[in-house]
């Protein structure tokens, strides 16, 4: 009948109820049932003269003494306090009739819960049953009633608990970052004249106290250089004419080295296994603190981290694949050291109360990362029209990012975003081994290669992402000739290896 | 005299039925043939708590449409039973307090429902 099952929440709004209550009150008289029947709709009951004009709840601004600052990457309260204030004024029309108080609070059952202090002015009291203060907490918690004795300045406190996240988090930060957790609401009301012999009390004020999660988180991550890869291939021809190709691939991740050697009699193909990039780095350092304590669900954290690192390992593999697809004409040695996402990340985040009463989401972070660092040493032969040449050289450079983020006030929108470009060009000279034209006065030859792209950091929804778009420019061979001192240089270019996207991906924390 | 009282009470019940049919059409429709019995028994229950005026009894019935029949006996509404059993409060004071707290609770539910992701 009632439109809801016992125990469930009714769908009736406060406005609907007030309307129906007034309509019901109009139905009948104040006489005992059976004495008379007064038709419905006779008008409202008049109020009594003891009513005060207004009652307003507001905050005690002076009690907000706690400020916060960042120390060693963590938020630290200037002056720790466990109480927040609400004041009930009697007649104070300059203040809003309804106000909102924002605080941070701990989970239900915490040893040191956040408490809200309600203070009732003696001037607002006018009898043994009022001022009546009622606290309506979120579902699942008990209502709190408090009556202030007449002509007494009175205070009482009640515990306020934060709300919990209803959704399962996916990413490492999302699990703790609490952007999606809404505050728990405590509706505090006060009635001046409380229960009168007749009429509906009119002298009341309400205030909503919103309780945000008080949890503070800190993450420190050190990632070693990932991915040292070398590849050599030599062709040996013995006196009997038998040709043997020997390929050696070596990959290093962190301090672990895995070496795979494969010897094959086939003249084509390069054998590089994936085993060498499957090693988990050993010198990885990861620390996660929840309210200053380590060990909070560390398994989940580590699993998330390994997932992140596997993305970086995929990047290393992608670079190897690029080399794998290129088969030189003569034989080559190709060796490179690669660092990817190496460096340190330190972050601290959580809800904080600002000095002007507002609760804000604070984030302090420091990134010192080498997104991409490569040292490429190669030695190989090239065969282009009129030349057989040998090229040996080294390319090395890096794209690094060092930045700080401090979002430490309610007016700062958390949107860290920073990027840097990758631009590592290289031109390496070679020497001709055969076929240099006898008419040439001078010859310069070699190859051009390099890396380009963009790497950066950005926020997306409730996660922080490191992204990179890195491209290997491929290899072009060039020959510059000058057949007369009086003539200009002529250049011929031969495209040997296509450009290749090395990594175009995202690592989401 | 007793017959006159019964007649007036019957008229009162009919007034209430007409009013609440307009206020809560879905709920009263669900009651069907039991609607009159529901009204009579709820008025009796209000009187057992000392709520004896017509206006206060009507407001008490209205609470049943919000929270459900005999809501005051359910564990989550002990606040209501405490008020109804308070010997120091008049019937009018009881219904005022019940109405006040009902509105507060509905406001709190509305606020928290709004905050639920």
Taking only the tens place, the pLDDT of each residue in B42-71 is 999 999 999 988 889 999 999 999 999 999
What was the pLDDT predicted at A7? 43
Give a yes or no: residue A404 inside a domain. yes
**Same structural domain for residues A480 and A368?**
yes
What's the rounded Cα separation, in Å, for the pair A22 and B96?
11
User: Is A183 in Cβ contact with B115 (below 8 Å)?
Assistant: yes
User: What pLDDT, in 10s, does the model give residues A283-295?
Assistant: 456 666 666 666 5
**Same structural domain for residues A36 and A168?**
no
**B55: domain range?**
2-115
Greater confidence (A199 vs B26) lies with B26
- CB-nearest to A201 from B58, B67, B100 is B100
**Same structural domain for residues A65 and A185?**
yes
What's the rounded Cα separation, in Å, for the pair A237 and A134?
95
**Same structural domain for residues A84 and A6?**
no
Domain's final residue, options A214, A248, A268: A214
Residues of chain A with pLDDT > 90, as a percent, come to 0
User: Is A180 in Cβ contact with B112 (below 8 Å)?
Assistant: no
**Same structural domain for residues A345 and A490?**
yes
* ipTM entry: 0.92
Alpha-helical runs (H) found in A280-432 = 298-324
**Same structural domain for residues A185 and A323?**
no
What's the rounded Cα separation, in Å, for the pair A245 and A108?
69
Give a yes or no: residue A328 inside a domain. yes
Residues A4, B68 contacting (CB under 8 angstroms):
yes
pTM, to two decimals: 0.55
Residues B93, B50 contacting (CB under 8 angstroms):
no
Give chain A's mean pLDDT.
63
**Same structural domain for residues A312 and A446?**
yes
Give a yes or no: residue A272 inside a domain. no
Tell whether A50 lies on the interface with B, counting CB pairs under 8 A: no
User: Is B99 in Cβ contact with A187 (below 8 Å)?
Assistant: no
User: Which of A17, A22, A146 to mutate to probe the B interface, most B CBs <10 Å?
Assistant: A17
User: What pLDDT, in 10s, does the model give residues A202-253?
Assistant: 456 677 788 888 777 776 666 666 555 454 544 444 444 444 444 443 433 3
Give a yes or no: residue A250 inside a domain. no
Give a yes or no: residue A261 inside a domain. no
Give a yes or no: residue A291 inside a domain. no
Joined together, the tokens standing for residue A380 give 């190989």
**Same structural domain for residues A343 and A454?**
yes
Within 26-85 of B, beta carbons closer than 8 Å to A belong to: 26-27, 30-31, 38, 43, 47, 52-59, 61-62, 64-69, 71, 74, 76, 79
**Same structural domain for residues A40 and A60?**
no
User: What pLDDT, in 10s, does the model give residues A89-98?
Assistant: 443 444 445 5
Give a yes or no: residue A346 inside a domain. yes
**A18: domain range?**
1-44
User: Is B106 in Cβ contact with A24 (below 8 Å)?
Assistant: no
What domain count does chain B have?
A: 1
What domain count does chain A have?
A: 3
User: What pLDDT, in 10s, does the model give residues A455-472?
Assistant: 887 876 656 677 778 787
- B29: pLDDT confidence band, cut at 50, 70 and 90? very high
**Same structural domain for residues A4 and A80?**
no
**Residue A70 to chain B, least CA–CA distance (Å):** 29
A90 Ramachandran zone, left/alpha/beta (phi>0; psi -120 to 50): alpha
**Same structural domain for residues A147 and A178?**
yes
**Same structural domain for residues A38 and A58?**
no
Cis amide leading into A131 (omega within 30): yes
Query: Containing H/E element for A406?
Result: strand A387-407
Contacts of B24 in chain A (CB under 8 A): 20
């Amino acid at each position: 009948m009632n439109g809801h099952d016992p125990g469930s929440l009714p769908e009736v709004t406060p406005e609907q109820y007030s309307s129906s209550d007034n309509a019901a009150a109009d139905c009948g008289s104040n006489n005992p049932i059976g004495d008379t029947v007064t038709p419905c709709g006779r008008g409202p009951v008049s109020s009594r003269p003891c009513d005060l004009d207004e009652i307003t709840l507001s905050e005690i601004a002076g009690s907000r003494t706690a400020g916060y600052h960042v120390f060693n990457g963590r938020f630290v309260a200037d002056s720790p306090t466990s109480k927040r204030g609400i004041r009930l004024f009697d007649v104070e029309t300059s203040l809003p009739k309804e106000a909102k108080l924002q605080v941070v609070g701990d989970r239900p059952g915490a040893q040191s819960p956040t408490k809200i202090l309600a203070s009732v002015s003696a001037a607002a009291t006018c009898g043994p049953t009022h001022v009546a203060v009622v606290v309506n907490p979120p579902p699942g918690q008990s209502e709190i009633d408090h009556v202030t004795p007449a002509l007494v300045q009175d205070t009482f406190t009640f515990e306020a608990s934060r709300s919990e996240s209803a959704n399962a988090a996916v990413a490492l930060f999302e699990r703790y970052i609490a952007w999606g957790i809404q505050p728990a609401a405590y509706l505090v009301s006060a009635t001046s004249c409380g229960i009168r012999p007749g009429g509906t009390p009119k002298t009341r004020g309400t205030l909503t106290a919103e309780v945000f999660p008080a949890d503070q988180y800190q993450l420190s991550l050190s990632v070693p250089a990932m991915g040292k890869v070398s590849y050599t291939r030599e062709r040996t021809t013995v006196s009997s004419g038998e040709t043997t190709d020997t390929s050696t691939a070596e990959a290093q991740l962190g301090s672990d080295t895995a070496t795979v050697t494969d010897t094959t009699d086939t003249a084509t193909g390069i054998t590089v296994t994936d085993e060498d990039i499957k090693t988990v780095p050993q010198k990885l350092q990861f620390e996660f603190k929840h309210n200053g304590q380590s060990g909070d669900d560390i398994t989940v954290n580590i699993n998330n981290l390994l997932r992140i690192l596997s993305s970086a390992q995929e990047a290393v593999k992608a670079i190897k694949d690029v080399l794998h697809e290129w088969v030189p004409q003569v034989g080559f040695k190709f060796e490179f050291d690669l660092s990817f996402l190496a460096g340190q990340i330190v972050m601290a985040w959580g809800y904080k109360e600002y000095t002007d009463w507002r609760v804000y989401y604070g984030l302090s972070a420091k990134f010192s990362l080498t997104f991409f660092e490569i040292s490429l040493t190669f030695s190989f032969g090239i065969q282009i029209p009129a030349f057989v040449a040998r090229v040996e050289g080294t390319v090395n450079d890096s794209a690094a990012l060092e930045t700080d983020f401090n979002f430490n006030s309610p007016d700062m929108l958390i949107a860290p975003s920073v990027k840097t470009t990758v631009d590592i060009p290289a031109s390496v000279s070679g020497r001709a081994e055969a076929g240099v034209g006898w008419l040439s006065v001078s010859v310069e030859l070699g190859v051009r290669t390099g890396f380009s792209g963009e790497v950066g950091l950005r926020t997306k929804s409730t996660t922080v992402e490191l992204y990179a778009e890195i491209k290997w420019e491929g290899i072009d061979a060039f020959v510059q000739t000058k057949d007369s001192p009086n003539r200009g240089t002529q250049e011929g270019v031969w495209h040997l290896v296509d450009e290749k996207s090395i990594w175009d991906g995202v690592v989401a924390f | 005299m007793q017959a006159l009282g019964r007649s007036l009470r019957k008229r009162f019940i009919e007034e209430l039925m007409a009013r609440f049919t307009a206020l809560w059409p879905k709920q009263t429709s669900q009651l069907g043939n039991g609607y009159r019995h529901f009204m009579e028994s709820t008025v009796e229950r209000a009187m057992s708590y000392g709520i004896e005026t017509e206006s206060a009894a009507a407001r008490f019935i209205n609470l049943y449409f919000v929270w459900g029949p005999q809501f005051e006996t359910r564990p989550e509404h002990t606040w209501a039973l405490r008020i109804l059993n308070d010997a120091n409060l008049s019937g009018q004071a009881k219904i005022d307090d019940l109405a006040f707290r009902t509105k507060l609770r509905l406001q709190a539910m509305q606020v928290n429902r709004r905050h639920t992701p």
